[in-house]
Structure 1
Amino acid sequence: MSNAFIDRKLRSELIRLSQHYAVLVLTGPRQSGKTTLCKNLFSDYHYVNLEDISLREQIAASPKGFLKQYAKGVILDEVQRYPELFSYIQVVADEVRGSHFVLTGSSNFTLMEKVTQSLAGRAATLTLLPLSLAELGDHIKADTNTLLLNGGYPAVWAKNIPVLDASRNYYNTYIERDVRGLLNIKDLTKFQTFIRLCAGRTATELTASALSNEVGVSVPTINEWLSVLEASYILFRLPPFYRNVGKRLIKTPKLYFCDTGLVCFLLGIENEQQLAAHPLRGPIFENLVVLEFLKSRFNQGKLSNLFYYRDQSQREVDIVQEHADKLYAYEIKSAKAFHREFLKNLVYLKKLLGSNLVSTQVIYDGETDIDSPEYGMMNFRNAVHVS
């Protein structure tokens, strides 16, 4: 796969929507492959990288004239760097019949704010996360620890860049530069402590007050940092499932990262052997599986329909997925051998939710699959087909 273009599952949805909308907006983390995908898919479009300050200054001389010149097909990369351009895109999209703009950005907060204000009804928005297991091709057969350690950033798989180098560069270049800039952080040490503490809380309930005490900043500051990391596609929060089922349920979200390779880097895990013995290997494995479900939704152009269940008796089910009025529940285990104990909370949830819960599955690292609507089990590599 070295130096090769890795085709993305989102391609078909981008093609479909391009036939109906004048403006396509593709968001996602930096280095997740947005530019490569758009250039490959719209190879005849003019390409503009708005990270280039001098180019932004040139466009500023006549923004409308520039957009009209390339209105029939232009890719505007990192468009949130030039927020004033959105109003001109709206005008030109309305004036020029057959115009087509492809906008990419890695700051969801800034980008979507402008899209909502200026391009409502004219734009279709999609999200591209790092590579899913289904997009790895034969590499999906790699050892589980290798998959966890490498994560999904295309550079690691397509260019054979060592994952430690890729993660270090990503952290130094994008997280500390971009996120620190957005937050105007003066004490970098506290932010570094904060993000590493977040990595240590992967796949656990997130309590801002606990982080506040450990980092030494206020709860509002912790919440602001979390919001910006989420908007920058560094991490995401999985909401709890709390339909009125007559029980006292936990209503705190769980924390996950958008790439397990970054989690390993933040935890100081440098190789597969260290990961295999690490006390957080189970949560990192859970992060991978939950992330695969989220990628599957986004790659179909759909919003997340994922939750987790936990009550105050500490009964927990890792994924509860809603499809209209039907529910699907998944328990995630990093073990290679199946144990009936894995079914305990699924059996409880089935009794609680009754016929609304139509399928319960254990997703684990073992070899045996049992294809059964009730209490089946599957290897995590096969879970890419069920979400």
Structure 2
Amino acid sequence: MIKREAENELRYLATQFKAVAVVGPRQSGKTTLVRMVFEGKAYVSLENPDIRRFAMEDPRGFLYNYPNGAILDEIQRVPHLFSYLQQVLDERASKGQFILTGSNNFLLQESISQSLAGRVGYLFLLPLSMNELKYKDEIDFWLYKGGYPVLHQEETETSRFYANYIRTYIERDVRLLKNISDLYAFERFLRLCAGRIGQLLNMSNLAVEVGVDTKTIGAWLAVLETSFILFRLQPFHESYNKRIVKMPKIYFYDTGLACALLGVENQKQLALNPFRGHLFENAVIVELLKRRLNNGKTNNLFFWRDNVGNEIDVLVVMATEKLAIEIKSGQTISNEYFKGIQFWNKITQTGGGLVVYGGELVQRRSNGIQVVPLTELYANLDDLEKIESS
């Protein structure tokens, strides 16, 4: 079994809160992790129709069957259970009573905010990180395969896995979240989003291509976000230059899923694929995000761009400073790699920065900018966390 970096945070939350909610994409390893950490607790899957019916018809009786608490898997399937869970938690003083998992962030947040505020700790679990897999192999293989645990622990064909994942998501999860009548249009919208990785989000343009209005596009984007398919990277607004871009960019939580949506059928097709650079950028940003979430920290990633094209791919905003990161998929270091960071350092009167690229060398330049391969990113994140905690 692959050791998850989030395990320590999960154990800690169970000592601080009466319940812990572990949320993330479907098949990201939530059930495996909580059953391993809390192996002495009863496990209840609310995907089971008989158990779900019991929980819906007699929620109080259902919960009182577990005087020592339990793991309630996919609890978003019975959202009104939270109201009854509140009373059960209030009657008992112990911490870590119930461990809740779900692949639908919206339903969990809505229910928790109404019923369990202050009683539940949150952990976001994304698919496996490169560090968890000790990954040092070809970057294109990682971009194509992604981080879903089943692909790294079993003999599962990647293309078949994602084809079924997409089909299940559209035909089942989307219907649970929102009553979308035209699933064909929604699937087209999903694939168009994959083609816009790393680009500014233009909902009007998407609406025209899909054939719906912008209000529908906004609602569908919310569905993709709350079911952990994609997320918006927000622009940094501090006005070093008043003419800055204020539209977000979109990225996927897993590059393997994005590749499948883009029609990439094997690793070899990535070498000349026009989306390879965007997928590489996506991979770096998600690795940064996984590191934060696995340690129980909030997302502190932004991008910065002005209206004449000066840009920082990722801006890590810490309490006392900001780290500018440029992402380049090429394997040969050139002066072009440093222009964005040098411009940022000039207007902010700061120094340093990090370039993550597709090569193999590690360089520390005299101007304080470091160049690291994606496979060496985590070693530099350790230094970053030392800065943030100092």
Taking structure 2 as the reference length, the TM-score comes to: 0.94
Q: What does residue 128 of structure 1 align with?
A: 125
Q: Equivalent pairs: percent with the same residue?
A: 45
**Is this contact kept in 2: 1:71–1:96, CA < 8 A?**
no
Of 341, 366, 375 in structure 1, the residue corresponding to residue 369 of structure 2 is 375
Whole-angstrom CA distance in 2 between matches of 1:166 and 1:384: 28
Deviations 1:30-88 (A, max 9, x none): 00000000001100110111112211222345422332331423000110111111011
Q: Which amino acid aligns with 2:241?
A: G
Return the offset for 1:115: 0.7
Whole-angstrom CA distance in 2 between matches of 1:14 and 1:187: 39
Of 247, 252, 255 in structure 2, the residue corresponding to residue 252 of structure 1 is 247
**Is this contact kept in 1: 2:18–2:98, CA < 8 A?**
yes
**Is this contact kept in 1: 2:170–2:187, CA < 8 A?**
no
Whole-angstrom CA distance in 1 between matches of 2:209 and 2:225: 20
SS of 2:324's partner is strand
Whole-angstrom CA distance in 1 between matches of 2:215 and 2:229: 19
Matches within 5 A, 1:1-387: 5-98=1-94, 100-137=97-134, 140-355=135-350, 359-371=352-364, 374-385=368-379, 386=381
Whole-angstrom CA distance in 2 between matches of 1:181 and 1:49: 17
Whole-angstrom CA distance in 1 between matches of 2:275 and 2:138: 17
Whole-angstrom CA distance in 1 between matches of 2:183 and 2:120: 37
Deviations 1:172-226 (A, max 9, x none): 1123321144232222221121111111111111100000011100000000000
Whole-angstrom CA distance in 2 between matches of 1:62 and 1:190: 39
**Is this contact kept in 1: 2:55–2:81, CA < 8 A?**
no
Change in CA separation of 1:366 and 1:195 when aligned onto 2, cut-off 3 Å: same
Q: Which amino acid aligns with 1:364?
A: Y
**Is this contact kept in 2: 1:24–1:123, CA < 8 A?**
yes
Return the offset for 1:354: 1.6
SS of 1:336's partner is coil
Return the offset for 1:157: 0.5
Whole-angstrom CA distance in 1 between matches of 2:364 and 2:98: 44
Deviations 1:88-125 (A, max 9, x none): 11111111232600000111011111111111111101
Whole-angstrom CA distance in 1 between matches of 2:60 and 2:358: 55
Deviations 1:252-279 (A, max 9, x none): 1011001100111011101111111101
Whole-angstrom CA distance in 2 between matches of 1:270 and 1:48: 37
Whole-angstrom CA distance in 1 between matches of 2:171 and 2:337: 40
SS of 2:349's partner is helix
Whole-angstrom CA distance in 1 between matches of 2:10 and 2:18: 12
Whole-angstrom CA distance in 1 between matches of 2:176 and 2:44: 23
Listed as ranges, the gaps of 5+ residues in structure 1 are: none
**Is this contact kept in 2: 1:333–1:364, CA < 8 A?**
yes
Whole-angstrom CA distance in 1 between matches of 2:42 and 2:301: 38
Runs of 4+ displaced beyond 4 Å: none
Q: What does residue 387 of structure 2 align with?
A: none
Return the offset for 1:359: 3.2
**Is this contact kept in 1: 2:255–2:283, CA < 8 A?**
yes
Q: Which amino acid aligns with 2:205?
A: A
Q: Which amino acid aligns with 2:327?
A: I
Deviations 1:270-326 (A, max 9, x none): 111111110110000000000000111100111100000110011111000111130
**Is this contact kept in 1: 2:56–2:78, CA < 8 A?**
no
SS of 1:319's partner is strand
Taking structure 1 as the reference length, the TM-score comes to: 0.95
**Is this contact kept in 2: 1:71–1:101, CA < 8 A?**
no
**Is this contact kept in 2: 1:71–1:93, CA < 8 A?**
no
Q: Cα RMSD between the aligned structures? A: 1.4
Deviations 1:117-172 (A, max 9, x none): 111111101100000111112xx122111000000100101113111111111101
**Is this contact kept in 2: 1:72–1:98, CA < 8 A?**
no
Listed as ranges, the gaps of 5+ residues in structure 2 are: 385-390
Q: Which amino acid aligns with 2:362?
A: D
